[in-house]
Structure 1
Amino acid sequence: MKRRNFIQKTALTSGALSLSSGLSYANLTNPTAKAPHHFNLKYAPHLGMFKELAGDDPIDQINFMADQGFTAFEDNGMMGRDIALQTKMGETLAKRGMTMGVFVVDKGGNMANTLAAGKQEYLDIFLDGCKRAVEVAKRVNAKWMTVVPGGFERNLPIGVQDGNVIEALKRGAEIFEPHGLVMVLEPLSDSPDLYLQNSDQTYMICKGVDSPSCKILFDIYHMQKTEGHLIHNMDLTWDEIGYIQIGDNPGRKEPTTGEINYKNVFKWIYEKGFEGVLGMEHGNSKQGKAGEQAVIDAYIQEDSFL
């Protein structure tokens, strides 16, 4: 082959490869597929949310999310998954340019080993979970891990409980800091027995820990139930918010199904310059493929605030 022809052929081939690398998984397998939607924020679906449209395979589901335009993903149960699957999921997320959101720290504080109690055995369980979470985070290129301190220790004054939780979380932060990882504390509305329930309380705990590896997970669904005034309270605690989750109330389904004005909330978050992940930690209001498409459509609608 002549040198000129070789150079021309190489250039054409390189151009074709460059073009294909920018195409979505769907476009490569189905030329009639529409282009991914461009979202203004990093909304993160979870496994099972689109299983009717994408199939049961976790990798197919992640690829489907990317094809719809979602640029992040979260998986509460990641620590319990097979190491080979964790690795493959991490590789797929990297290939599709998606940000890995939260997973839950296994035994990271629960009703059976509440950090408010100040007991060494509970602290040991928590710290072991933190150490194992670091290895999982490396496999999936994660930055944030959810921690729930557990329940109240009713026989102790609240100030002592606060001190116990802060000291335990300081120890956890010491594990995460060298790796640039962040545990995000989630106040919940599920039970009156839970120690962590409000954003201002969580803000106080984060200030006490005083570490870049301890921040707030502001779950909009839970905070609407326990305190309301979403934008006001997010603004008050903004410098400690590291992660956000979504769910409408009542029902904990996709935006547009409840009382929260998500278009206004998303606009406010965008204007604050938030570049982190917004986890779609909710169910689908309708079953089947139509219900899954309704979730996608709801996010496209509520994200159109510009």
Structure 2
Amino acid sequence: MDRRQFISRTAAAGVTGAGLASLAACSSTELKTALENENNQHQAAGILSLAQRQQGLASFACNIEQWFRGEIPFLDRMAAAKSIGFSAVEIWNPFDKDRGRTPEIIAQRAADVGVKITSYSPHPPNFADPKNEKPFLEWLDLTISAGKTLNIPNFNLTGHKLIKGLTVEQMIENYTRVLKRVAPRLEAENMIATIEPYNPFNHKGHFMYGHEPALSICREVNSPSVKINWDFFHMQRTNGNLITHLENGFDQVAYIQLADSPDRNQPGTGEVAYGKVLTRLRELGYPGYIGAEFFPQNKNAVQAASDLAQLALNIELKAPSI
């Protein structure tokens, strides 16, 4: 069988990661035996069945930049994500022709596999620097066009590196001014730019950490098209007190991502009580997908998917309503 047929077949069976690589040359008889052996191993390890994982993972989008990294080629990771129970994925930069990435190619592969893309994170010029305003506007044209191709109405916005010679106050002022300028364009295109604050431990050299100044910027811009990608991992590392800060900033939340703290693996491997956090998230009225932007512990994607699904099943997490 060719690569497409093989990936489609193993995706339906729930095999990924090293399993995909090792099964690539199997005959149909060998494949059946290998799949049975893998399913038996999963049951022995207490891993949820594929059907249970699919149910529990309905709210989550697999970040295929961090999952399967170094194990599976980028485009094939969509099938790998589906093979372990995800119906949605998220990506970072869709522009990298040298590695076979274009919005058109990515969109076609997602359609072929049957997964939804929920978010993308192209790399903007550092637009807090006035010298980068024109390049940023050109970048925005490409980014909006990519969103239309990918059928995604929201993209993550960074561009907040420290700039030599400017104070933090000046950088925030420049950043806010540019967002005010582009907000009407985003509104006309029905697109949402979600500011993504980082944390100072994993992302040194930025001026946007935790909930501030992102919250103040969004409230000043005052547009339905400029909101926050509220990444619980970054918020925990920077501010802690996740539920209270979420409640206080929820009016500016447009997208959610998560990882446990401090090691950025799946929930249950660190310090965050994600059952309570996600329950409150849905109670507040967040209807969308939650980006699983973390590294599966020990590169065990099936275990990470099972852990995440089990969390959702335990708290009866409602599936997205959008």
Q: Work out whether residues 41 and 275 of structure 1, in 8 Å CA contact, stay in contact via their aligned partners in 2.
A: no
**1:6 match:** none
Q: Work out whether residues 102 and 146 of structure 1, in 8 Å CA contact, stay in contact via their aligned partners in 2.
A: yes
Residues in 2 aligned to 1:280 and 1:86: alpha-carbon distance in whole angstroms: 21
Aligned partner (choices 170, 175, 179) of residue 165 of structure 1? 175
Q: Work out whether residues 146 and 185 of structure 1, in 8 Å CA contact, stay in contact via their aligned partners in 2.
A: yes
**1:149 match:** 159
Q: Once the 2 structures are TM-superposed, how far is the Cα of residue 273 of structure 1 from its aligned partner?
A: 2.8
Q: Work out whether residues 79 and 104 of structure 1, in 8 Å CA contact, stay in contact via their aligned partners in 2.
A: no
Tell me which of the two structures has the higher relative contact order, counting C-alpha pairs closer than 8 angstroms and 6 or more residues apart: 2
Q: Does structure 1 residue 179 correspond to structure 2 residue 189?
A: yes
Q: Once the 2 structures are TM-superposed, how far is the Cα of residue 50 of structure 1 from its aligned partner?
A: 5.2
Structure 1 pair 48/217, CA: closer, same or farther in 2 (3 Å)? closer
**Residue type of the alignment partner of 2:94:** M
Return 75-84 or 228-237, whichever deviates more.
75-84
Q: Work out whether residues 100 and 143 of structure 1, in 8 Å CA contact, stay in contact via their aligned partners in 2.
A: no
Q: Once the 2 structures are TM-superposed, how far is the Cα of residue 303 of structure 1 from its aligned partner?
A: 1.0
Q: Work out whether residues 11 and 84 of structure 2, in 8 Å CA contact, stay in contact via their aligned partners in 1.
A: no
Residues in 2 aligned to 1:99 and 1:272: alpha-carbon distance in whole angstroms: 24
Map residues 1-306 of structure 1 onto 2, 5 A cutoff: 26=12, 34-35=50-51, 37-39=54-56, 42-47=59-64, 51=68, 56-81=72-97, 86-94=103-111, 98-109=115-126, 114-115=127-128, 117=129, 119=130, 121-153=131-163, 155-156=165-166, 158-190=168-200, 191=203, 193-287=205-299, 291-304=300-313, 305-306=315-316
**Residue type of the alignment partner of 1:90:** A
**Residue type of the alignment partner of 1:26:** A
Q: Work out whether residues 66 and 293 of structure 2, in 8 Å CA contact, stay in contact via their aligned partners in 1.
A: no
Aligned to 1:39, the other structure's residue is in SS state helix
Return 38-47 or 254-263, whichever deviates more.
38-47
Return 237-246 or 186-195, whichever deviates more.
186-195
Normalised to the residue count of structure 2, the TM-score between the two structures is 0.74
Give % identity.
21
Q: Work out whether residues 57 and 308 of structure 2, in 8 Å CA contact, stay in contact via their aligned partners in 1.
A: no
Residues in 1 aligned to 2:171 and 2:101: alpha-carbon distance in whole angstroms: 39
Q: Once the 2 structures are TM-superposed, how far is the Cα of residue 145 of structure 1 from its aligned partner?
A: 1.3
Q: Once the 2 structures are TM-superposed, how far is the Cα of residue 242 of structure 1 from its aligned partner?
A: 0.6
Q: Work out whether residues 127 and 171 of structure 1, in 8 Å CA contact, stay in contact via their aligned partners in 2.
A: no
Structure 1 pair 91/229, CA: closer, same or farther in 2 (3 Å)? same
Between structure 1 and structure 2, the one with the greater Rg is 1
Across the aligned residues of Structure 1 and Structure 2, the Cα RMSD in angstroms comes to 3.1
Identify unmatched segments of 5+ residues in structure 2. Answer: 1-9, 15-27, 40-49, 317-322
**1:4 match:** none
Q: Once the 2 structures are TM-superposed, how far is the Cα of residue 49 of structure 1 from its aligned partner?
A: 5.1
Residues in 2 aligned to 1:212 and 1:37: alpha-carbon distance in whole angstroms: 32
Structure 1 pair 275/94, CA: closer, same or farther in 2 (3 Å)? farther
Structure 1 pair 85/200, CA: closer, same or farther in 2 (3 Å)? closer
Structure 1 pair 97/264, CA: closer, same or farther in 2 (3 Å)? farther
Residues in 2 aligned to 1:243 and 1:25: alpha-carbon distance in whole angstroms: 27
Residues in 2 aligned to 1:137 and 1:83: alpha-carbon distance in whole angstroms: 18
- CA offsets 1:181-209 (integer angstroms, 9 cap, x no match): 11110111145531111314211101111
Aligned to 1:250, the other structure's residue is in SS state coil
